[in-house]
A and B are shown apart, each in its own frame.
Chain A
Amino acid sequence: MLQVISLLLENKPGALMRVTGLLSQRGYNIESLTVARTLDPAISRMTIVVDVDSVQRQQVIKQMNKLINVLQASDLTESPAVVRELVLVRVRTPQESRTAVLKEAEIFGGRVVDSSTEGFVIEATGDPEKLREFIDVMGSYGEADVARSGALAIALEARKLRLQPPVPTKAGSRQGEPAT
């Protein structure tokens, strides 16, 4: 089944590689993955949709949490959350159906971002299921190409980010004492 995971991770070199590497290493298939900075430029938010056996869902989250650069891993699959996606569709349209295409785009809340004699580029956002329908409809008018952003998700309720405090080093404390 599809699992929606929201990660907060330190914006450090290699952090993305650790997450994707972990997913492939443990045999989880990535459906989509998006990542960008949060309000705090040191932290990125990543939304990952993975296709995973339902008994494995907890294990995926636990493995994510083990990554040192991951600050928080949440399973949004069944918790209250908004999941949205952006799609760009370039559709080649013959003259006679231009108006119809524009009407359809309007129904889906799409916006024309480029118009030429060949056709349009239309952007639309929404939940991934709705966008699939939009793409199908556009495809019925002519040859269509699609760029999808992948799902973006945010929980409706804020979850407290619990960060670990600094730990004194051996070098700073007396020699031979445990660091913890």
Chain B
Amino acid sequence: MLLECLAREGVDCIFGYPGGVTIPFYDVLYEHRIRHVLVRHEENAAFAAEGYARSTGKVGVCCATSGPGATNLTTGLVDALMDSIPIVALTGQVTSKLIGSDAFQEGDTFGITRSCTKHNYLVKRLEDLAQTIHEAFYVAASGRPGPVLVDITKDVFQGQGHYQPVTAVHLPGYKVFTEGHAGQIRRAAQLIHEAERPLVYGGGGLIAANASPELRETVELADAPVVLTLLGLGALPAEHPNFISMPGMHGSYAANMALNNCDVMIALGTRFDDRVTSRLAAFAPHAKVIHVDIDPAEIGKNRAPDVPIVGDVKRILPKLNRLIAEMQSAEAKTPAVEKRLAARSAWWAQVRAWKEEHPLEVTTSESEIKPQHLMGEIDRISGGHAIVTSDVGQHQMWAAQLIRFSEPRCWLSSGGLGSMGFGLPSAIGAQVANPGKLVIALVGDGGFQMSIPELATIAGNGLAIKIVVMNNGYLGMVRQWQTLFYNNRLSAVQLDGFPDVEKLAAAYGFKGRTVDRPGELRGALEEAVREPGPYLLNVRVAQMENVYPMVPAGAAIDEMVLGPPEPAAPASN
């Protein structure tokens, strides 16, 4: 019955790991058309489901047994919660009569995952199962998406019953806002129309809403420069002339300067995260803020907007665009308008000047592979269309700065939670969902070593994932902070004993190679991509390279440290 529910929800693949109480479920799965990908650790089942969801927009599904299976899922659940990724997690629970008796492999999954999920359920009666599963999918995918967990007791798994179609779900307390307030949208259009220094600040909500075409129209109508957050990259093609880059702690000089100097900020599907704003009180001090978000609780949480709009950005932008276009065509060429247009072109000249002053650059060296060089080569080989997943840390920031994404859902990265060990398993989900696409798991040597068990999953399923390890021998981002802020006392960050990847890959039956000379890099990447199966490429890069620009903790975003050796003077406003 459970599988019937899943099939009706359009599920074609489950990432999971069986155990005692889910045996009845796996018994039915044995001859079912829904594919099951057996991972090697439940945490990676959740990450893989995220990779599936992030790359397709569909709900990803993962499955684990009771007790340890469920607790292992939690990191992935929180990751999905922080980044608003729709996944449904199914967990087994001990027989309902045994609940509360400290039975074998019993864990309070319902209680533990309360704060890890958008919503969760415990199903103890077969007659509740179908309704609950359909509710779970609806909650996961609607509104602000997120993870939903359904904990199912063994006796429910064992129960025999015929599936009765569930035609509707009724959640009287769950309101999904979509359309936005017409008056506020008009006010927003007016502000944008009259802005002298407009800026679009877009986030992951644009991708969740599949709002790229609408965004493009807004950007071009308003002729506003655009910054996109870590999770928003690809919402507007990187090659679009209005795109600046990512803002924030490791954002570009131009992006941060634009944020702090704009007069109208159009914030779309973004939450004014501390990694973007740094010191909130000094963030975009001159800007009137228009904030569009589907979650009312995000409006005013960190920054009080001048124009709040609660709703689906995909539904709101066309209305906004229509109004802006009307205002533009109704306008006469008065001196005031001329003045505004002049201010606009001065703004653009300023933005371009910032970009040229401190561009994000691919730096290379003769003697060693610079991490930036690696990102430049990945950018080249992906052509903007490959799916690139990452872990968290230095490689993630360099990748976000230097790899240009031409489409949404190509850049899969753990943003809010910042989970190491995300890159490789999420690539599994992405490759399963997009069998024809080039998928690159770009990971650090730290994160990779958290994911090694999944090499078996990759090999066993013949997934042609190209694993690229940016290997600097350190937990690079922690090392960078220790270098810059803790007197270079490098405590517990050196990752010795990295395995020989050629042997490691061979042990799993595919090819691996280590490169450390700049001249070999391009050829090695090309070889990896040419290889029909998986490939493990270990790239030894400069160990002590730091990510710049960097906004130190507590500083304003225009107080960037632009690089060694001399810290640049704080930019003037």
Q: Which residues of A contact B (CB under 8 A)?
A: 9-10, 13-14, 17-18, 21, 25, 58-59, 62-63, 65-72, 163-172, 175-176, 179-180
Contact = CB atoms under 8 A, between A and B. Distances in A.
A172 B167 contact: yes
A68 B121 CA distance: 11
Interface string B137-160: 111011000000000000000000
B175 A164 contact: yes
Contacts of B119: 68
Given A59-B301, A168-B168, A169-B169, 15 more contacts: A10-B172, A21-B115, A58-B300, A62-B296, A62-B297, A67-B173, A71-B172, A164-B171, A166-B169, A167-B138, A167-B142, A167-B170, A170-B8, A171-B5, A172-B167
A69 B296 contact: no
B422 interface: no
25 contacts: A17-B114, A18-B114, A21-B114, A58-B300, A59-B300, A59-B301, A65-B297, A67-B173, A68-B139, A71-B172, A71-B173, A163-B172, A163-B173, A164-B171, A166-B168, A167-B138, A167-B168, A167-B169, A167-B171, A169-B8, A169-B168, A171-B8, A172-B167, A172-B168, A179-B137
A18 B118 CA distance: 11
B138 A169 contact: yes
A20 B139 CA distance: 21
B174 A171 contact: no
Which 6 residue pairs of A and B lie closest in terms of their CB atoms, listed nearest first? A172-B167, A171-B8, A163-B172, A62-B297, A166-B168, A166-B170
Given A14-B122, A172-B166, A180 B176 contact: yes
Contacts of A13: 122
**A66, A168, A176, most chain B CB atoms within 10 A:** A66
A119 to B, nearest CB: 40
**A25, A58, A167, most chain B CB atoms within 10 A:** A167
A71 B137 CA distance: 20
Range of interface residues on B (Cβ < 8 Å):
35 or more
B460 to A, nearest CB: 30
A25 B120 CA distance: 16
A34 B300 CA distance: 29
Contacts of B297: 59, 62-63, 65-66
B435 to A, nearest CB: 19
Nearest to B167: A172
B79 to A, nearest CB: 17
B111 interface: yes
B319 interface: no
Nearest to B173: A71
Interface in B259-277: none
Contacts of B120: 14
Contact of B134 (A63, A72, A169): A169
Contacts of B462: none
B114 A14 contact: yes
B165 interface: yes
A70 B300 CA distance: 21
Contacts of B166: 169, 171-172
Contacts of B174: 68, 164
Interface string B8-51: 11100000000000000000000000000000000000000000
A61 to B, nearest CB: 9
Nearest to A173: B167
Contacts of B5: 171
A62 B302 CA distance: 13
B178 interface: yes
B295 interface: yes
Contact of A169 (B110, B167, B301): B167
A170 B10 contact: yes
A14 to B, nearest CB: 6
Nearest to B299: A62
Contacts of A59: 297, 300-301
A68 B138 contact: no
Contacts of A171: 5, 8-9, 134, 165-167
Interface string B118-141: 111010000000000010011101
Contacts of B175: 65, 164
A180 B296 contact: no
A76 to B, nearest CB: 19
**A17, A58, A67, A170, most chain B CB atoms within 10 A:** A170
B533 to A, nearest CB: 32
Contacts of B118: 68
Contacts of A170: 8-10, 134, 137
A176 B10 contact: yes
Given A59-B300, A62-B297, A68-B173, A180 B142 contact: yes
A178 to B, nearest CB: 8
Contact of A9 (B122, B138, B173, B295): B173
Contacts of B141: 179
Contacts of B176: 180
A107 to B, nearest CB: 44
Contacts of A65: 175, 296-297
A53 to B, nearest CB: 13
A120 B5 CA distance: 61
A9 B110 CA distance: 18
Nearest to A167: B169
A164 B172 contact: yes
Contacts of A25: 115
A139 to B, nearest CB: 39
Given A69-B173, A167-B168, A169-B169, A175 B10 contact: yes
Contacts of B168: 166-169, 172
Interface string B97-127: 0000000000000110011001110100000
